[in-house]
Amino acid sequence: MEGGCLCGALRYRLTAMPFDADHCHCRMCQKSTGAVVGSWMDFLAEQVIWLSGKPTEYASSETTRRGFCSSCGTSISFRDTGYPKYYTLSIASLDNPNLVPVKYHIHTSSQVEWLCIKDDTPKYSGARS
């Protein structure tokens, strides 16, 4: 699978399917993506190959790094420095986002009131333990 940012400055290739995928409703994801929910997929860091460019990162907390394209602003990645073996990418940045099914919702306590979730996946009010 391949993906990238809106302008094409960032392009990546994945060497495996994600080991996890979720919809996050936390306020940081809402603000950083500009959407009411962030949809993310998780990989081992070595499974993500950058073909062109690399994200610019913003430290949104002591351990969280949110990656974006410095040219077009696309929110594309998430890293927790406490878990350096893992790398998270935005599902929407895939050339075909339909290839990755989401397994659950997290931080639904921050879900916007007018968003009605009708899927059958598990929902967690905070982080999934």
Structure confidence at residue 128 as a pLDDT band (50, 70, 90): confident
Would residue 118 count as lying in a domain?
Answer: no
Would residue 8 count as lying in a domain?
Answer: yes
The three-state secondary structure class of 70 is coil
Range of the domain at 70: 2-110
Q: Supply the pLDDT for residue 86.
A: 98
Would residue 116 count as lying in a domain?
Answer: no
Closest Cα partner for 4 from 53, 56, 60? 53
Instruction: Give the pair of three-digit tokens for residue 83.
Output: 């878990």
Number of structural domains found in the chain: 1
**CATH number of the domain residue 56 falls in:** 2.170.150.70
Would residue 119 count as lying in a domain?
Answer: no
Reported as a single tens digit per residue, the pLDDT across 17-72 is: 999 999 999 999 999 999 999 999 999 999 999 999 999 999 999 999 999 999 99
Strands (DSSP E) contained in 1-129 are 2-4, 11-14, 20-24, 38-44, 48-52, 56-59, 64-68, 75-80, 86-90, 104-106
Give the rounded percent of residues in the chain with a pLDDT score beyond 90.
98
